[in-house]
A and B are shown apart, each in its own frame.
Chain A
Amino acid sequence: MDKNQSQAYWRANKALIRNLLIVWALVSLIFSILLVEPLNAIQLGRVPLGFWMAQQGSILTFVVLIFIYAVQMDRLDRKYGIRK
């Protein structure tokens, strides 16, 4: 892998990390803490949405985010010929 390619790989990696971390902050810090009160006006199932996000939704999203990262990085690794 030459220098340009490895820079492109690193940029793509950073963009992916940035996007996933935006979702990470959105579900936990924004929805579950800063906006919890307005969101609690909405019901999910039989519980207020903001409360549900804080105690269930954010955690489930975290798990999904990590697997998305791993799978997307596999694709990136293949694209740049790091792994067959």
Chain B
Amino acid sequence: MSVELWTIGFVALTFALYLYIGWLSRVRDSSGFYVAGQGVPPIANGAATAADWMSAASFISMAGLISFLGYDGSIYLMGWTGGYVLLALLLAPYLRKFGKYTVPDFVGDRYYSNVARLVAVVAALFVSLTYVAGQMRGVGIVFSRFLQVDIATGVIIGMVIVAFFSVLGGMKGITWTQVAQYVILIVAFLIPASAIALLLTGNPIPQLAFTFSDIVANLNQVQLDLGFQEYTQPFANKSQLDVLFITIALMVGTAGLPHVIVRFYTVPDVRAARYSAGWALLFIALLYTSAPALATFARYNLINSLHNQTIEEVRQLDWANKWERTKLLAFDDRNNNGRFELTPDSATNEITIDPDIIVLSTPEVANLAPWVIAIVAAGGLAAALSTASGLLLVISSSVAHDIYYRILKPDATETQRVFVGRIMVGLAVALAGYFGINPPGFVAQVVAFAFGLAAASFFPVIILGIFDKRTNREGAIAGMVTGLLFTIFYIVGVKFSGMTPWFFGVSAEGIGTLGMIINFIVTIVVSRLTPPPPLAVQEMVEDLRSPAGELPPEAVH
């Protein structure tokens, strides 16, 4: 059976599964729609959070990026996992105790202000929209590479699937499909990672093969021989300060991303929120500790199979020809010596490798059966669709819950609220699809925005809202606005208008860390200079700090 048939079969099977789960999880009430009725068990929420979190970028691109950055790729590994410690210790239990539906809900109630609520809504919308466009694009790319469907058709198929379970089932439908998507994506990632580990080291467990085999040492030697820096050499591509700032910005940004935070509203109680953060990170760590191993093995293997081989030898490799056709791999014998050579200098380098190829090509490079390639395709789609659906719910709830219900029409009935929620999910899917088909040229550039802005806006005001009773409305609004404006100014300046990164050379990706510090300082200082929050709010904070006496969400309203 051909790779294409296997792929169509697997993709169709997983899509049917998602539709079936979506149908089983359909809901009627707003609590079900926005927070899955707060009845999701901790382990299931952990798996759903892991799938929500790990996007097409984590699945397809991250290992590839690491294999090119070596040590410096650790910014993604630590940055995208370390934030869960902050979430678990500083945010999730208290937000669960608060018990309402969205991040702007917390900001608006804690800071007794619809202005604060609106600033939070705008930040949530901006962060989620930039992020979701990339996911839809990812869906299109997987379809076009594995099934030779054009990208627009791929995006539309993806849209229909996501729309079905998220419009019908809201958060409940999304949660249970995400659990299924986690299982598919982790299996799809671990099979090739384990196979290539076995092939190169004789040990099928990637983490152990990475630590106890000679591959890292050999790769270091190979890199030196070719004129590159050692693979494990720190700060080969980025300065130490920049690595520090980017890592912190990614960690804090992760903890501040609305689609991650809302997952902790869906569990039954505070205790479940604590454990569920642990399960989430455990599930994420399975992929995140395998990815650096895969990155090392794949790079070593690619260099060994391609570098200094004669043109005839390379032409006999089926996978090399196949990936060359997709233009992700390119050969050019510039010095006409009949061999392809890999060098650090772009003027003499004869082998161009796109980072995306690392994960996608591993099954073929490692000579695995066609059905493994099909699983990887289904896994990439699962990663993209699960993240997209979580983001779409945030976009929909920002408009339908935070603006329509909390600000415009507080007396809306249950039926109206769920109806508006469904309409907004539908619109958000269509918008995301549009951006997937016609990606704004800056999509790749704006990922830095999502993390930097989340770090510079939500994180400080949520933390202070819980840990500092004295923080008030004036402080929170001033902090969020200055944090956001500074970060946007720096990112736009550096990325789009040629401003030099004047803050000690810290890049646009890392500046969210400074934005967060500015937000903290402004919030604290302005709060001290203005009247303390009303007594009722101080009592609410007191109440958040104890898991005792949890009330079901409807009773808190």
Do B78 and A59 touch (CB < 8 A)? Answer: yes
Q: Given A24-B85, A54-B77, do A47 and B216 touch, yes or no (CB 8 Å)?
A: yes
Taking the nearest CB of chain A, how far is it from the CB of B504, in angstroms?
15
**A interface residues with partner B (beta carbon < 8 Å):** 1, 6, 9-10, 13-14, 17, 20-21, 24, 28-29, 32-34, 36-37, 40, 44-48, 50-52, 54-56, 58-60, 62-63, 65-67, 69-70, 73-74, 77, 82-83
Instruction: State which of B93, B288, B546 has its C-beta within 8 Å of the C-beta of A9.
Output: B546
Q: Given A40-B234, A55-B77, do A33 and B240 touch, yes or no (CB 8 Å)?
A: yes
- Residues of chain A within 8 A of B214, CB atoms compared: 46
Do A46 and B232 touch (CB < 8 A)? Answer: no
Nearest A residue to B245 via CB reads A33
- Residues of chain A within 8 A of B275, CB atoms compared: 67, 70
- Residues of chain B within 8 A of A60, CB atoms compared: 285, 289
Residues B179-234 near A (CB distance < 8 A): 207, 210-214, 216-217, 232, 234
Do B85 and A62 touch (CB < 8 A)? Answer: yes
B88 interface residue per 8 A CB criterion: yes
Chain B 292-303, CB within 8 Å of chain A: the 1/0 string?
100000000000
Residues B526-546 near A (CB distance < 8 A): 542, 545-546
Do B89 and A20 touch (CB < 8 A)? Answer: yes
Instruction: State which of B78, B89, B251, B282 has its C-beta within 8 Å of the C-beta of A63.
Output: B282
- Residues of chain A within 8 A of B66, CB atoms compared: 55
A47–B247 CA distance with the chains assembled, in angstroms: 22
Do A46 and B217 touch (CB < 8 A)? Answer: yes
B506 interface residue per 8 A CB criterion: no
Do A56 and B85 touch (CB < 8 A)? Answer: no
Other A-B pairs beyond A69-B274, A77-B271, 12, CB < 8 Å: A36-B71, A51-B71, A51-B234, A54-B77, A55-B71, A56-B207, A59-B77, A59-B78, A65-B85, A66-B281, A74-B271, A82-B548
Do B247 and A29 touch (CB < 8 A)? Answer: yes
Instruction: State which of A55, A58, A59, A77 has its C-beta within 8 Å of the C-beta of B547.
Output: A77
Do B244 and A66 touch (CB < 8 A)? Answer: no
B439 interface residue per 8 A CB criterion: no
Do B285 and A21 touch (CB < 8 A)? Answer: no
A54–B306 CA distance with the chains assembled, in angstroms: 29
Nearest B residue to A17 via CB reads B89
Do B85 and A46 touch (CB < 8 A)? Answer: no
B501 interface residue per 8 A CB criterion: no
A67–B85 CA distance with the chains assembled, in angstroms: 10
Taking the nearest CB of chain B, how far is it from the CB of A81, in angstroms?
8
B248 interface residue per 8 A CB criterion: yes
Count chain B CB atoms within 10 A of each CB in A52, A59, A83 and give the residue with the most.
A59
- Residues of chain B within 8 A of A82, CB atoms compared: 546-548
- Residues of chain B within 8 A of A74, CB atoms compared: 271
Do B82 and A28 touch (CB < 8 A)? Answer: yes
Q: Given A24-B85, A45-B212, A82-B548, do A59 and B288 touch, yes or no (CB 8 Å)?
A: yes
Taking the nearest CB of chain A, how far is it from the CB of B224, in angstroms?
14
A46–B275 CA distance with the chains assembled, in angstroms: 34
- Residues of chain B within 8 A of A69, CB atoms compared: 88-89, 274, 278
Do A44 and B285 touch (CB < 8 A)? Answer: no
Count chain A CB atoms within 10 A of each CB in B82, B213, B285, B545 and give the residue with the most.
B82
Taking the nearest CB of chain B, how far is it from the CB of A62, in angstroms?
5
Taking the nearest CB of chain B, how far is it from the CB of A79, in angstroms?
13
Nearest A residue to B543 via CB reads A6
Q: Given A6-B542, A66-B88, A66-B281, do A58 and B234 touch, yes or no (CB 8 Å)?
A: no
Instruction: State which of A6, A13, A32, A56 has its C-beta within 8 Å of the C-beta of B211.
Output: A56
B277 interface residue per 8 A CB criterion: yes
Q: Given A33-B240, A34-B244, A82-B546, do A62 and B234 touch, yes or no (CB 8 Å)?
A: no
Taking the nearest CB of chain B, how far is it from the CB of A70, in angstroms?
4
Do B278 and A63 touch (CB < 8 A)? Answer: yes
Nearest B residue to A65 via CB reads B85
- Residues of chain B within 8 A of A37, CB atoms compared: 234
Do A20 and B85 touch (CB < 8 A)? Answer: yes
Do A34 and B546 touch (CB < 8 A)? Answer: no
Do A1 and B548 touch (CB < 8 A)? Answer: yes
- Residues of chain A within 8 A of B247, CB atoms compared: 28-29, 33
B523 interface residue per 8 A CB criterion: no
B243 interface residue per 8 A CB criterion: yes
- Residues of chain B within 8 A of A6, CB atoms compared: 542, 545-546
B472 interface residue per 8 A CB criterion: no
B84 interface residue per 8 A CB criterion: yes
B90 interface residue per 8 A CB criterion: yes
